[in-house]
């Protein structure tokens, strides 16, 4: 008979084990899926439904790696035997039929039956459960941190707007105004709603419409707005008492304005126009210059990230293919779409696989493309031009240009061509020859590649295989020389024991550094080709062989010498005619440029600085000073119209100083700082160098030479 109590104890432990492990795995899968989903949804803007795909996939992978549901009672008894030495590795006896046990097994079973109920519950399932819950908590924290990244990205425009806005100064409202409001209606392309504000200082998008509504406590005959001290727009009265007024204006640029109430002017109020920026295009993949070698897929995986402040309307690829050579070059233009619904998103990641064969390209052709994007306002922007070229193996294998110029290594160059020919021939014969023959031929081509590599290594001072592409550090085979036959007193034999008299690769000076570096690159490609040929992978070795051949051909072209021919021969000049012409009709060129206005403006501003400085010590402005301040005010008006955030406050302070007799040091300092910004830094002027004491002698000598009798 089976002991039901002990059997239930083992079964309950198995159920607990499986349950806790499954909860831990689900927690780990949930944490992993949350992190991956939040990465895809927030920074990359994929669909949130991606979580429904990632979670079961991750959970399936975890269950496949560790199928915990397959745990049996026998697995539990093995764990108990290993975990509890007091069971004497006999826990599996509890699962067997007592009638089938031998006498010794029955005695051992009766011994451990009393031990099983006293055993402490193992902590391994609880550890797995706690580990899963901790990982789930960490995943939740990481997911929350990821949600903060796109919030900063999405609010980048608001942060930029806040940075562009200056802190509004305290507005002085005329006493005649009892109530007012300014309604800002953004352009439709921004997608923003209209907003109402209770201040005259305005920050709005370029092209926004501003509706002013002003109420006065007394009747006003005429109320108008003066923009940039040049444009005057009268307000329209809404009632007969002339106490309610309104006007509308579209903001196209930054500046300032003020109210004119029956000739009484208010303070200056700032208008800040936020421009609409064009779409920012960032091409993540491929590189700007891409070369497709033999054996590589003729496809380009294009990845682009577009960003705009208000929304992206469309984007496409403008591709131009160049085919042919010389005067027979033909160009074909194509427009490739991304097949994506932009939906006025501010940030979008685009991807497209461009198949060059489908575009009609063949070896030797080149592709030039750029990305063009439009925003909701109709502004367009384009990226830099990217280049993709397919290697022309026919031209590479030709001997054109090999017969002229200086041939550094023509014999070895042709040997690399022969290795490529042999490799391609072997690939064609692979299906018709035995496997062993194929391997032998591949190994023989690899040996040829090795010999060629070693022969090129001699140009760099490399004498053995350990030096290929590496430093000359292995001196074991060179520094240990035999001492037999040494003669007593032979200095040469003694020096041979300590001096290394062989060539060093890094000290080889036969080539220039640029050519030397390219030769090292050739050796690296040959080594990669040899490795694959000796491991019976000629198909993988072919791209490295072609790359080595292309580098060698480039070296061959660099070594060619060119001397231009002179086809026109002129008569020799007569020595007596030289320097004998009349030069009275030849004058020095004079370039006339006027700096009168700029110099006058700078001079006026500098004098104004001095007058303001003297005002600090109590000296009052004269009529001439008032005229000077009026001129300075005109310059400040122009500067404030272009940069109101910088010069508008200074312009208000200058008007206070011009009209008031009260000395305000802060206003003077503010105006002086603005004037200094307008003047800008002084340009360096040429200075006469101080001559030494010995210069007087040769200057006197030079003057005496110019004297005539």
Alpha-carbon gap, residue 237 to 244, rounded angstroms? 6
When comparing pLDDT for 566 and 592, which is higher? 592
What integer pLDDT is reported at residue 96 of this predicted model? 62
When comparing pLDDT for 89 and 542, which is higher? 542
When comparing pLDDT for 77 and 633, which is higher? 633
Q: Supply 106's token pair.
A: 């029955």
Q: Which residue carries 């001079």 as its tokens?
A: 603
Question: Is it the case that residue 501 has pLDDT exceeding 50?
Answer: no
What integer pLDDT is reported at residue 520 of this predicted model? 85
What is the average pLDDT across 539-551?
Answer: 87
Q: Supply 90's token pair.
A: 């006999």
What integer pLDDT is reported at residue 89 of this predicted model? 62
When comparing pLDDT for 612 and 598, which is higher? 612
Instruction: List beta partners, residue 485.
Output: none
CA atoms within 13 A on the CB side of 244: 3
What is the average pLDDT across 189-214?
Answer: 89
Contact 556, 408 (CB under 8 A): yes
Q: What is the DSSP letter of 26?
A: H
Q: Which helix (H) or strand (E) holds 523?
A: helix 513-534
Q: How many CB atoms lie within 10 A of CB 608?
A: 22
CA atoms within 13 A on the CB side of 227: 16
The rounded radius of gyration (Å) of the Cα atoms in the chain is 44
Burial of 100 (0-12, 13-18, 19+ CB in 10 A): exposed
Q: What is the largest CA-CA distance in the chain?
A: 148
Residue 246: C-alpha distances to residues 214, 224, 225, 257, 624 (Å)? 6, 10, 11, 15, 41
Phi and psi torsions of 362, nearest 5°: -135, 170
In sequence order, what E strands does 527-655 have?
none
- Per the prediction, the chain carries an average pLDDT of 76
Weakest mean pLDDT among 3-7, 113-117, 287-291: 3-7
Alpha-carbon gap, residue 103 to 575, rounded angstroms? 135
What integer pLDDT is reported at residue 578 of this predicted model? 76
Question: Is it the case that residue 402 has pLDDT exceeding 50?
Answer: no
Weakest mean pLDDT among 72-86, 191-205, 327-341, 468-482: 468-482
The dihedral region occupied by 265, where left means phi > 0, alpha psi between -120 and 50, and beta the remainder, is beta
Alpha-carbon gap, residue 697 to 707, rounded angstroms? 16
| Cα angle value 647/650/652 (rounded, 5°) | 115
Contact 621, 611 (CB under 8 A): yes
Residue 341: C-alpha distances to residues 150, 497, 653 (Å)? 21, 77, 53
Q: Which residues are within 8 A (CB) of 469 and not within 5 positions of it... i.e. 6 or more apart?
A: 520, 523, 524, 527
When comparing pLDDT for 37 and 481, which is higher? 37
Q: Supply 364's token pair.
A: 């030797």
What is the average pLDDT across 102-122?
Answer: 66
Alpha-carbon gap, residue 24 to 13, rounded angstroms? 16
Which residues in 164-186 are b (16+ Cβ under 10 Å) and which e?
eeeeeeeeeeeebbeebebebbb
- Residue 97: pLDDT band with limits 50, 70, 90: low
What integer pLDDT is reported at residue 92 of this predicted model? 63
Percent of the chain exceeding pLDDT 70 equals 71
Question: Is it the case that residue 678 has pLDDT exceeding 70?
Answer: yes
SS3 463: coil
Residue 609: C-alpha distances to residues 137, 526, 629 (Å)? 65, 74, 10
Alpha-carbon gap, residue 560 to 405, rounded angstroms? 4
Q: Supply 676's token pair.
A: 């200094």
Question: Is it the case that residue 133 has pLDDT exceeding 70?
Answer: yes
Question: Is it the case that residue 253 has pLDDT exceeding 80?
Answer: yes
What integer pLDDT is reported at residue 149 of this predicted model? 64
Q: What is the DSSP letter of 120?
A: P
What integer pLDDT is reported at residue 210 of this predicted model? 92
Phi and psi torsions of 221, nearest 5°: -70, -40
When comparing pLDDT for 655 and 691, which is higher? 655
Contact 113, 98 (CB under 8 A): no
Q: Which residues are within 8 A (CB) of 514 and not within 5 positions of it... i.e. 6 or more apart?
A: none
- Residue 146: pLDDT band with limits 50, 70, 90: confident
Alpha-carbon gap, residue 37 to 32, rounded angstroms? 8
Residue 470's Cα: distance from chain center in Å?
Answer: 33
Question: Is it the case that residue 692 has pLDDT exceeding 90?
Answer: no
When comparing pLDDT for 110 and 354, which is higher? 354
What integer pLDDT is reported at residue 316 of this predicted model? 92
Max mean pLDDT among 51-65, 397-411, 587-601, 691-705 falls in 51-65
What integer pLDDT is reported at residue 470 of this predicted model? 44
* Contacts by residues 397-406 (CB-CB < 8 Å, ≥ 24 positions apart): 397/421, 397/549, 401/556, 401/557, 401/560, 402/556, 404/560, 405/556, 405/559, 405/560, 405/561, 406/559, 406/560, 406/561
Question: Is it the case that residue 567 has pLDDT exceeding 60?
Answer: no
SS3 349: strand
What integer pLDDT is reported at residue 4 of this predicted model? 60
Residue 325's Cα: distance from chain center in Å?
Answer: 35
Contact 69, 26 (CB under 8 A): no
CATH second-level architecture of 280-395? Sandwich (2.60)
- Residue 485: pLDDT band with limits 50, 70, 90: very low
Alpha-carbon gap, residue 148 to 555, rounded angstroms? 53
Q: Supply 282's token pair.
A: 């960032």
What strands lie across the sheet with 347-355, from one edge to the other? 280-285, 299-307, 347-355
Alpha-carbon gap, residue 362 to 2, rounded angstroms? 79
What integer pLDDT is reported at residue 403 of this predicted model? 44
What integer pLDDT is reported at residue 476 of this predicted model? 42
Question: Is it the case that residue 22 has pLDDT exceeding 90?
Answer: no
Instruction: List beta partners, residue 299.
Output: 355
Burial of 71 (0-12, 13-18, 19+ CB in 10 A): middle
When comparing pLDDT for 704 and 195, which is higher? 195
What integer pLDDT is reported at residue 563 of this predicted model? 46
Mind listing the pLDDT tens digit for each residue in 295-325?
Answer: 778 888 999 999 998 889 899 999 988 887 7
Q: Which runs of consecutive H residues, i.e. helices, occur in 474-512?
A: 476-479, 491-496
Superfamily the domain 171-274 falls into: Immunoglobulins (2.60.40.10)
Mind listing the pLDDT tens digit for each residue in 615-655?
Answer: 777 777 777 777 888 888 888 888 888 888 788 888 888 88
Burial of 319 (0-12, 13-18, 19+ CB in 10 A): buried
When comparing pLDDT for 626 and 492, which is higher? 626
Question: Is it the case that residue 450 has pLDDT exceeding 70?
Answer: yes
Q: What is the DSSP letter of 44?
A: S
Domain positions in the chain are 4-153, 171-274, 280-395, 406-472+502-558, 596-679
């Amino acid at each position: 008979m089976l002991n039901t109590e002990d059997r239930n104890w083992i079964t309950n432990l198995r159920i607990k084990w499986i349950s806790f492990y499954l909860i831990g795995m689900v927690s780990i899968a949930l944490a992993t899926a949350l992190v991956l989903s939040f990465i895809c949804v927030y920074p990359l803007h994929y669909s949130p439904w991606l979580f429904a795909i990632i979670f079961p996939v991750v959970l399936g992978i975890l269950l496949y790696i560790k199928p915990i549901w397959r745990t049996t009672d026998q697995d539990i008894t093995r764990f108990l035997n290993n975990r509890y030495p007091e069971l004497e590795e006999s826990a599996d006896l509890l699962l067997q039929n007592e009638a089938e046990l031998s006498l010794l097994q029955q005695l051992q079973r009766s011994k451990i039956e009393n031990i099983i109920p006293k055993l402490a519950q193992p902590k391994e399932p609880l550890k797995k459960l706690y580990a899963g819950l901790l990982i789930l908590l960490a995943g939740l924290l990481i997911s929350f941190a990821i949600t903060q990244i796109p919030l900063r990205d999405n609010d980048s425009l608001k942060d930029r707007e806040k940075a562009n806005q200056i802190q509004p100064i305290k507005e002085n409202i005329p006493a005649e105004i009892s109530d007012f409001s300014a309604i800002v209606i953004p352009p439709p392309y921004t997608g923003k709603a209209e907003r109402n504000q209770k201040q005259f200082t305005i920050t709005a998008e370029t092209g926004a419409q501003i509706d002013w509504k002003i109420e006065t406590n007394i009747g006003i005959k005429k109320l108008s707005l003066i923009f940039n001290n040049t444009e005057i727009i009268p307000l329209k009265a809404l009632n007969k008492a002339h106490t309610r007024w309104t006007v509308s204006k579209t903001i196209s640029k930054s500046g300032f304005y003020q109210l004119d109430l029956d000739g009484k002017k208010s303070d200056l109020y700032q208008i800040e126009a936020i421009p609409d920026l064009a779409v920012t295009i960032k091409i993540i993949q491929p590189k700007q210059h891409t070369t497709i070698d033999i054996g590589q897929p003729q496809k380009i995986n294009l990845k682009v990230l577009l960003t705009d402040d208000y929304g992206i309307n469309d984007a496409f690829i403008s591709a131009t293919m160049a085919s042919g050579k010389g005067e027979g070059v033909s160009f074909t233009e194509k427009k490739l779409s991304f097949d994506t619904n932009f939906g006025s998103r501010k940030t979008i990641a685009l991807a497209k696989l461009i198949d060059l064969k489908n575009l009609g390209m063949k070896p030797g052709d080149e592709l030039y493309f750029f990305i063009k994007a439009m925003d909701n306002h109709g502004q367009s922007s384009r990226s830099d031009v990217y280049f993709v070229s397919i290697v022309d193996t026919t031209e590479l294998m030709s001997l054109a240009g090999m017969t002229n110029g200086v041939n550094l290594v023509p014999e070895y160059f042709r040997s690399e061509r022969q290795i490529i020919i042999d490799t391609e021939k072997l690939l064609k014969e692979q299906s018709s020859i035995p496997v062993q023959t194929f391997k032998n031929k591949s190994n023989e081509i690899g040996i040829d590649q090795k010999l060629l590599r070693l022969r090129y290594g001699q140009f760099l001072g490399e004498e053995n295989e350990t030096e290929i592409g590496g430093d000359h550090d292995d001196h074991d085979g060179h520094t240990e020389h035999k001492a037999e036959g040494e003669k007593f007193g032979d200095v040469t034999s003694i020096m041979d024991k300590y001096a290394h008299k062989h060539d060093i690769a890094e000290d080889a000076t036969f080539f220039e550094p640029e050519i030397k570096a390219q030769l090292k690159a050739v050796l690296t490609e040959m080594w990669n080709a040899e490795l694959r040929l000796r491991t019976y992978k000629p198909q993988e070795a072919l791209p490295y062989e072609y790359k080595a051949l292309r580098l060698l051909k480039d070296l061959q072209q660099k070594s060619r010498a060119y001397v231009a021919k002179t086809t026109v021969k002129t008569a020799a000049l007569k020595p007596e005619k030289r320097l004998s012409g009349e030069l009275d009709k030849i004058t020095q060129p004079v370039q006339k440029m006027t700096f009168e206005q700029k110099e006058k403006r700078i001079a006026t501003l500098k004098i104004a600085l001095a007058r303001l400085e003297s005002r600090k010590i109590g000296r009052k402005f004269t009529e001439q000073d008032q005229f000077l301040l009026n001129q300075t005010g005109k310059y400040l008006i122009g500067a404030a119209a272009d940069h109101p955030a910088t010069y508008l406050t200074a312009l208000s302070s200058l008007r206070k100083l011009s009209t008031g007799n009260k000395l305000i040091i802060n206003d003077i300092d503010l105006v002086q700082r603005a004037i200094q910004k307008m003047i800008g830094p002084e340009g360096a002027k040429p200075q006469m160098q101080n001559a030494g004491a010995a210069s007087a002698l040769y200057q006197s000598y030079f003057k005496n030479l110019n004297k005539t009798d």
